[in-house]
Chains A and B, each alone.
Chain A
Amino acid sequence: MSDRQQVSIYSGEEEVLSAVVELRAAGFRILEVFAPYAVHGLERAAGLRRSRIGLITVTAATIGSLAFYFFQDWVAAISWPVNIGGKPYSSAPAWIPVVFETGVLAAGLATVLALFVRSRLYPGKRARLIDPRVTDDRFAVVLEIPDSGFDVERAREICARHGAESVEETAVPESGKKPRKPHVSSLEVWR
C-alpha cells in the first residue's frame, strides 16, 4: 500500500464523469471520488457495487411485523383474553394496521442505522475533507499512487484534459485507518 495519492479537482459533473471513466480505462486505481451531490452513473463509472442495504430493510420489516403480530395475538388471546365488543380473542384482521406500521418502523430505523453504521456516520464525527469545496461545487478524484508504475504525467494529462482545475500529489492522510479487509476496495480509506 502506498502512502501517496493524486488528487484532481473538477468543477462540473460531466468533467468528473468523463475523467473517471478514462482514468479507470487507463488502468489507474481510483481511491475515492468526492462529490457535492449524487451524480448519476458516477458510482458505477468509479466501479462501485450497488449497496445491499435493502436486505436489511426486508429483514427488519419482516421481524417488526411478525413480532407485533404475535405480540398482539399474545396480548389479546393469551396474556389476558378479554371480551371486547363480542369480538373473538384472536381478531387477526384488527392486528393488520399495527403489524404494517411496526414493519415499516422497524425497516426504516434498521435501514438508516445500517447506512450510518456501514458508512461510519455518527453525530459529532469530524469530517475528513479532501477539499473544503467538495461539499459545495467541486468534485475531487483521488488516485492511488502505487509505489511503482504510476505514470504521473499520463494521469495529470488525463485529468487536465477532462478539465481538472488542479492536480496534486499528496500524502495519504496518516490517521486514515488501514483497511481491515484488504480485498475490499481501497475507498475504505476515506470513510
Chain B
Amino acid sequence: MSDKRYWKSLEELDARAEQAESAERVSPLEEPIGRRGFLLASGFTLASGVLGGCSRSPVEKAIPYLDQPDGIVPGRAAWYATTCGGCTARCGVLAKSRDGRPIKLEGNPDHGFSAGGLCAVGQASLVELYDSQRLGAPRLQGREATWDEVDREVRHSIEGVVTSGGRVRLLSDTVTSLTEQRWIRRFLGQFPDGRHVVYDPLSSSAILDAHLATHGHRLLPRYKLDRAEVIVSFGADFLGTWISPVELTAAYRRGRDLEGESPHLSYHAQLEGRMSLTGSNADSRVVVDPGDVGPVLSQLVGKVADRAGAELAGFGAVSASAVEEGVLDDLADRLWRARGQALVVSGSESVREQVLVNYLNELVGAYGATLDVERPSYQRQGDDRRLAGLVKEIQDGDVDLLLIRGVNPVYDMPTPELAEALEAVPTVISFSGSLDETSTRADVVCPEPHFLEAWGDSEAVAGVVSITQPVIRPLGRTRALAASLSAWLGEPASALDLIQDCWRDEVFPRAAIGAFQTFWDRTVHDGSARVTAIPTEVGPFDRSMVRSLSGGAEPDNYTLELYPKVGMLDGRHAHNPWLQELPDPVTKVVWDNYACLSPRTAKHLDVGQNDVVLLELPDGAALELPVYVQPGQHDRVVAVALGYGRAGTDRFGTVAPKWLEGKPTVVPGATVGTNAASLASLEGRRRRYVRSGLRVTPTGATYDLATTQIYHYLSVPEKLAPADGKDRPIIQETILPEFLEDRSAGKPHMHHFDSDLWGEHEFETHHWAMAVDLSACTGCSACIVSCQAENNVPVVGKDEVKRRREMHWIRIDRYYRGDEHSPDTVHQPMMCHHCDNAPCETVCPVTATLHSSEGLNMQVYNRCVGTRYCANNCPFKVRRFNWFNYAHDDKLQNLALNPDVVVRERGVMEKCSFCVQRIQEAKHTATSQGREVADGDIQTACQQSCPAQAIVFGDLKDPESRISKMRQDPRHYLVLEELNLRPSVGYMRLVRNRPTPASTPLAEGEEGSHHG
C-alpha cells in the first residue's frame, strides 16, 4: 500500500496527540505538569488534532519509475504462470503481481494436471514469501555469512570428503525438478560414496514398493479418478492430503457430473478408521480400524477373485474380518460389475496391504484404465527403507557430509536421537529457507528462495513439465539448490541458465516443436507443457507376493492413527498464519492438533472435548493431547494430526489482539499444537503412522480448543426439537436413483408464499449471482484461503476464534446428519447471499449496506459505524465484524495485501462482496476493449480456486449464462427460501450414489455443543 497517512481513527489521532505532547515536554519549562498545565496540554493536543484534521491531508510523494519496464503499468496486475511449491504435487499456478509484488496465487486452468484449481496450501504459500523470519543470507556455523565464504567452506569440506572417500548423503523430499535431479546426480557423482535419499514425511513408499513387487518397477501410478465408476478407498485421503489433492479432486469431480443430459455419479466407498475429508464425501463409508484393514482386504480380494474366477494359489487362508460380509459382498459386486472402470486406492503404509490393493486393481482391470503405470506420477518418491538406512548411518557416525534439502528430519522423525547424531556428522549442509529444527543444527545453511522469487522446473507427472518463474525480485540473498550445487562443482551459473541447459538437453528433445526458444517461451508463458513421457518399463503383474493377511487390531487396546491435516500437511507450513487459522475441513478446529476420539470412546473414558488425555504406546512414546470428539470415528481409533508443535511457532503469540482478557495464541516458548511425530515409528525400515497397542488415560487437565463451529448437526438437539422438524432443510439432498427419476428429488414440502407486498426493483444491466454445487463441493477449504488472500481477510488468532470471531468471508459449514457413530457428512460453503430482499440492509441506520443496481449487497466500510444490527439480522450469519484492529503480526506480510481491496478498520462490518473488485476490473477491461462483459469474464476468488469447480458465478440478466441455466435447474434450491429473502446465492442439491437413503437415527443429545 502507499504510505498515505490519513488519520482515520481515534488512536491515530491520539498518536498525534502524543507527538504533540512529547513536543510539549521538551519545552524549557521543566516543571511537572499541574492541572493547568494538563489542561493546556490537552487543549493544545485537541486543537492540533482538529487543525491537523482540517488542514491539508498529509503530503504524499509519488515516485514514478525512472524508466518504466515494458509490460508494467502501475496499478494494473500482471499474471505470470508458474508452478506451486507448496507441496510435492507441483500444481500449476498463476501469480498475480501488482507493482512488482505477487499478491495472489490462482490455479492455472491450462496446466497439465491441476486443471485450474489450487488448494488451500498453495493459496496460502503466498504469504510465506513475505515471512520476515525467512533467511535473507546464508549462514555458516550459526552466523550470517556471504555466499563466497560459504562456497569456500563447502568446497573445502567437499575436497576433504572426496580425498577421504567418505560417505556423502543428500537427504531430500521428492525432487521433481529435472534440473535439480541432474545437478544432484552430478554433485553426488564426484564422491566415491554419494547417495541421494528421498524422504517424504507424507510417504507413499509402500505404494512404490508394492509396485516394485507386482510390476517390477518402483513407481507411483497415476490415479485416473475421472475414469472410475467405482472407487474403493482404504483410508486414502485423496481429496485432502494424499499425493496430489487438487488433481485428484478435479478428476473425482469429473466423475461426478450431474449437469447435462446424462448425469453420472461414480460410486465412492471409503473404509477408514478416522473421519477424513475424503471419507466425509463418500457415498458409503465403512468404519474400520486401520489395524484390521489387512484381513478386510484379503477377504475382499477373495470375493473379487471369486467373481473373476481367478485362482488364488498360495494366497493363504482368509478369515472373517471386522467388516460385515454383506458390505464386502456389495463392494466386490460393484467392483466386479464396473471392471475396467473400477479403482481401489489405499493410504496404507504396509507394503503387503498395498500389494493386495494392486492385486485387486489387477483383478478389476484398473491397470491401463483407471491406473496409469506407463506414465506414472513422480510426486512422491520417498523410500522409507533407504531413509531407515540413512538414519542408522547417521546414528552410527558413518556419514561425513550430509546435505538436507526440503525436509526437517529432526522435527518429523520419530527418532529423538537424530538431533544429537546430526551434531556428530562432520559437515551438515541445509538448504532450508528458514531456521527450523534441523537447519539450526546444520553447519552451513544455504537458504533457497521461495518459489515465487526463483526459477525452477518440474516434471511431477510423466510427460507434463512445468516452469517456476520468479515474480518478484528475491527478498534476500538466497540461492537455488541447483545453483549452489553447480557453484560447488566449480561451474557456477544462475538457476535460469542451469534450467535452460537442462531443458535444452533433456526436455526439448521430448517436445515436438521446432526451436528451443519457441518451446521455452511458450512453456514459460503457459506454465507447463506436455512432452513425451520417458517410458516406464512395467513388467506383467507378478502375483507371487500376493498373500492374505490375517490377525488384525488387538481389541483391548486403541489404535493410534497419525494423519496429516489439510493445510498443515507435514508441518512445513506451520509458520503460515493463514493455514494455522484455516479450520480443519472436518473438525473445524484451528491453531491446534488434538486426539480425535469417537463419541462412544469419549463416553467410555468419561472425557469430553478439551479434556486432556495421555496417549502411551508400548514402546514408551507418550504424549498429552486435548480430546476432540469426532463423530463417525472408529471406537478403537485415536487420530492425531501431524505437522504441529513446530519450533518457533510461538511467534504467533502476537497474532491475537492484546487486551484485558485476551489470551495469546501461543505462549512464549511453547508451540502451536504438539508434535506427534514421536508417536510414529521407523520400525522394520518403514515409517508407521498407524500404531497399535495405544493406551489412553484421562489426565484431568483441560486445554481449550478453538473451533469455528460448535454445533455440528443438521438436526437440532432432540429435547428441543419441535414436533415438525429436527432436521433443518438447509441442506437438501437425495439419492441417485430418485434423482434420475426426478431431478427435483429431495425438495422438501414447503408452503411457500411467492409474492411480495410491493414491486421488485429491476436490475437493468447485470444481476450477479452464484450457485454452489453441493454434490461437487468436497469441503477442501481452498476457497477460504483464496478469499482470504484476495480480500485482505485478517488472521485473528486462536483466542478470537474461540470467541467465535473468525473473519473468513466464506466458511464451509460441515454438518453431520444421522447417527453420531456413522453419520452422513455434508459441506456447505456459506458466504454472503446478496439477497435482493436483504434483511441486513433495512436495519442499517446509516445506509452503510444497501443494494447495488447490479444486485450486489454492498457493504460500505467507510460509512459503517458498527452497530452490528445487520449481522444480527443476517439469517446466514455471514457478516464479519472487526472487533479489534486485526493487523498482520508480521509487518512484512502487509506486502501480500491486495491494493484493490481496502483494509478494514476496527469497528466496521465486512463480508463477502462477490469480489466486486474483480467485477469492476472486468467491466473496465471490457469497456476498454469496447465490448460487454461476457459470461466467464468474472471469476470470484473462491470460484477460481475451487479444484472441484463447485462454484459458478455469473450474470442472471444473461439468459445464456451458466448461472442462469443453473438457476433453472430443478436441482437448484435456495437456503431459507421461506423467508423470501431472494438470495443471489443458490445451491445445487446434494445427490448421493446409494440405493436407499441411509437410515438416519437421531443424534444423541447435544453432542459437541459446549456452552460456557
Once bound together, how far apart are the Cα atoms of A69 and B792, in whole Å?
42
Q: What are the nearest 6 A-B pairs in CB distance?
A: A85-B842, A86-B837, A83-B851, A85-B841, A83-B761, A84-B841
Q: List 18 A-B contacts (CB under 8 A).
A: A82-B847, A82-B850, A82-B851, A83-B850, A83-B852, A84-B842, A84-B844, A84-B850, A85-B839, A85-B841, A85-B842, A85-B851, A86-B760, A86-B761, A86-B836, A86-B838, A86-B851, A86-B982
Once bound together, how far apart are the Cα atoms of A84 and B873, in whole Å?
14
- B684 CB contacts on chain A under 8 angstroms: none
Q: Is B190 an interface residue (CB 8 A)?
A: no
Most chain A beta carbons < 10 A, residue from B756, B836, B840, B851: B851
Once bound together, how far apart are the Cα atoms of A85 and B982, in whole Å?
10
- B42 CB contacts on chain A under 8 angstroms: none
Once bound together, how far apart are the Cα atoms of A82 and B846, in whole Å?
12
Q: Is B1012 an interface residue (CB 8 A)?
A: no
Once bound together, how far apart are the Cα atoms of A85 and B761, in whole Å?
10
Contact of A84 among B756, B758, B847, B982 (CB under 8 A): B847
B759 x A85 contact (CB < 8 A):
no
In this complex, the interface size class of chain A, counting residues with CB under 8 Å from chain B, is under 10
Residue of A nearest to B849 (CB): A84
Tell me the minimal C-beta distance from B855 to chain A in angstroms. 9
Q: Is A87 an interface residue (CB 8 A)?
A: yes
- B841 CB contacts on chain A under 8 angstroms: 84-85
- A84 CB contacts on chain B under 8 angstroms: 841-842, 844, 847, 850-851
Once bound together, how far apart are the Cα atoms of A189 and B206, in whole Å?
113
Q: Which A residues between 55 and 83 are near B, CB-CB below 8 angstroms?
A: 82-83
6 more A-B residue pairs beyond the given contacts A86-B760, A86-B982, with a C-beta to C-beta distance below 8 A: A84-B841, A85-B840, A85-B851, A86-B756, A86-B835, A87-B758
B842 x A87 contact (CB < 8 A):
yes
Q: Is B927 an interface residue (CB 8 A)?
A: no
Residue numbers of A with Cβ under 8 A of B are 82-88
Q: Is B853 an interface residue (CB 8 A)?
A: yes
Tell me the minimal C-beta distance from A47 to chain B in angstroms. 53
Tell me the minimal C-beta distance from B914 to chain A in angstroms. 16
- A83 CB contacts on chain B under 8 angstroms: 761, 850-853
Once bound together, how far apart are the Cα atoms of A14 and B457, in whole Å?
111
Tell me the minimal C-beta distance from A26 to chain B in angstroms. 66
Tell me the minimal C-beta distance from A176 to chain B in angstroms. 47
Chain B 734-750 interface 0/1 with A at a Cβ cutoff of 8 Å (1 = within): 00000000000000000
Tell me the minimal C-beta distance from B982 to chain A in angstroms. 7
Once bound together, how far apart are the Cα atoms of A87 and B850, in whole Å?
11
Once bound together, how far apart are the Cα atoms of A86 and B853, in whole Å?
11
- A86 CB contacts on chain B under 8 angstroms: 756, 760-761, 835-838, 851, 982
Once bound together, how far apart are the Cα atoms of A83 and B759, in whole Å?
12
Tell me the minimal C-beta distance from B181 to chain A in angstroms. 60
Tell me the minimal C-beta distance from A179 to chain B in angstroms. 51
- A88 CB contacts on chain B under 8 angstroms: 758-759
Tell me the minimal C-beta distance from B943 to chain A in angstroms. 25
Tell me the minimal C-beta distance from B826 to chain A in angstroms. 30
Residue numbers of B with Cβ under 8 A of A are 756, 758-761, 835-842, 844, 847, 850-853, 982
Once bound together, how far apart are the Cα atoms of A83 and B858, in whole Å?
11
Residue of A nearest to B855 (CB): A83
A85 x B847 contact (CB < 8 A):
no
Most chain A beta carbons < 10 A, residue from B761, B838, B847, B852: B761
Tell me the minimal C-beta distance from B916 to chain A in angstroms. 16
- A82 CB contacts on chain B under 8 angstroms: 847, 850-851
Residue of A nearest to B982 (CB): A86
- B982 CB contacts on chain A under 8 angstroms: 86
Tell me the minimal C-beta distance from B869 to chain A in angstroms. 12
Residue of A nearest to B851 (CB): A83
Residue of B nearest to A80 (CB): B847
- A87 CB contacts on chain B under 8 angstroms: 758, 842
Residue of B nearest to A76 (CB): B847
- B851 CB contacts on chain A under 8 angstroms: 82-86
Once bound together, how far apart are the Cα atoms of A87 and B758, in whole Å?
7
Residue of B nearest to A90 (CB): B758
Once bound together, how far apart are the Cα atoms of A87 and B839, in whole Å?
10
Once bound together, how far apart are the Cα atoms of A87 and B835, in whole Å?
12
- B853 CB contacts on chain A under 8 angstroms: 83
Residue of A nearest to B762 (CB): A83
Residue of A nearest to B838 (CB): A85
Once bound together, how far apart are the Cα atoms of A87 and B842, in whole Å?
8
Tell me the minimal C-beta distance from B1001 to chain A in angstroms. 41
Once bound together, how far apart are the Cα atoms of A188 and B758, in whole Å?
59
Residue of B nearest to A94 (CB): B842
Once bound together, how far apart are the Cα atoms of A83 and B847, in whole Å?
10
Tell me the minimal C-beta distance from B976 to chain A in angstroms. 15
Most chain B beta carbons < 10 A, residue from A84, A85, A87: A85
Once bound together, how far apart are the Cα atoms of A61 and B641, in whole Å?
70
- B756 CB contacts on chain A under 8 angstroms: 86
Most chain B beta carbons < 10 A, residue from A84, A86, A87: A86
Once bound together, how far apart are the Cα atoms of A85 and B981, in whole Å?
9
Tell me the minimal C-beta distance from B753 to chain A in angstroms. 15
Once bound together, how far apart are the Cα atoms of A163 and B758, in whole Å?
74
Once bound together, how far apart are the Cα atoms of A63 and B851, in whole Å?
33
Once bound together, how far apart are the Cα atoms of A82 and B857, in whole Å?
12
- B835 CB contacts on chain A under 8 angstroms: 86
Once bound together, how far apart are the Cα atoms of A86 and B844, in whole Å?
14
Once bound together, how far apart are the Cα atoms of A87 and B836, in whole Å?
9
Once bound together, how far apart are the Cα atoms of A86 and B760, in whole Å?
6
Once bound together, how far apart are the Cα atoms of A83 and B844, in whole Å?
13
- A85 CB contacts on chain B under 8 angstroms: 837-842, 851
Tell me the minimal C-beta distance from A89 to chain B in angstroms. 9
Tell me the minimal C-beta distance from A133 to chain B in angstroms. 45
Tell me the minimal C-beta distance from A97 to chain B in angstroms. 13
Once bound together, how far apart are the Cα atoms of A85 and B841, in whole Å?
5
Once bound together, how far apart are the Cα atoms of A82 and B835, in whole Å?
15
Once bound together, how far apart are the Cα atoms of A88 and B757, in whole Å?
10
Once bound together, how far apart are the Cα atoms of A85 and B858, in whole Å?
11
Tell me the minimal C-beta distance from A98 to chain B in angstroms. 12
Once bound together, how far apart are the Cα atoms of A88 and B761, in whole Å?
8
Residue of B nearest to A91 (CB): B758
Residue of A nearest to B980 (CB): A86
Once bound together, how far apart are the Cα atoms of A88 and B756, in whole Å?
11
Once bound together, how far apart are the Cα atoms of A84 and B853, in whole Å?
11
Once bound together, how far apart are the Cα atoms of A85 and B847, in whole Å?
11
Residue of A nearest to B836 (CB): A86
Tell me the minimal C-beta distance from B956 to chain A in angstroms. 15
Tell me the minimal C-beta distance from B686 to chain A in angstroms. 62
Residue of B nearest to A83 (CB): B851
- B852 CB contacts on chain A under 8 angstroms: 83
Once bound together, how far apart are the Cα atoms of A86 and B851, in whole Å?
8
- B839 CB contacts on chain A under 8 angstroms: 85
Tell me the minimal C-beta distance from B769 to chain A in angstroms. 15
Once bound together, how far apart are the Cα atoms of A82 and B850, in whole Å?
7
Tell me the minimal C-beta distance from B224 to chain A in angstroms. 48
Once bound together, how far apart are the Cα atoms of A168 and B756, in whole Å?
80
Residue of B nearest to A88 (CB): B758
Tell me the minimal C-beta distance from A112 to chain B in angstroms. 29
Once bound together, how far apart are the Cα atoms of A84 and B851, in whole Å?
6
Tell me the minimal C-beta distance from A101 to chain B in angstroms. 14
Once bound together, how far apart are the Cα atoms of A83 and B982, in whole Å?
14
Tell me the minimal C-beta distance from A75 to chain B in angstroms. 10
Tell me the minimal C-beta distance from A165 to chain B in angstroms. 54
Tell me the minimal C-beta distance from A88 to chain B in angstroms. 5
- B840 CB contacts on chain A under 8 angstroms: 85
Once bound together, how far apart are the Cα atoms of A85 and B836, in whole Å?
6
- B760 CB contacts on chain A under 8 angstroms: 86
Residue of A nearest to B857 (CB): A85
Once bound together, how far apart are the Cα atoms of A87 and B843, in whole Å?
12
Tell me the minimal C-beta distance from A184 to chain B in angstroms. 49
Tell me the minimal C-beta distance from B407 to chain A in angstroms. 55
Once bound together, how far apart are the Cα atoms of A136 and B841, in whole Å?
58
Once bound together, how far apart are the Cα atoms of A32 and B636, in whole Å?
100
- B842 CB contacts on chain A under 8 angstroms: 84-85, 87
Tell me the minimal C-beta distance from B947 to chain A in angstroms. 35
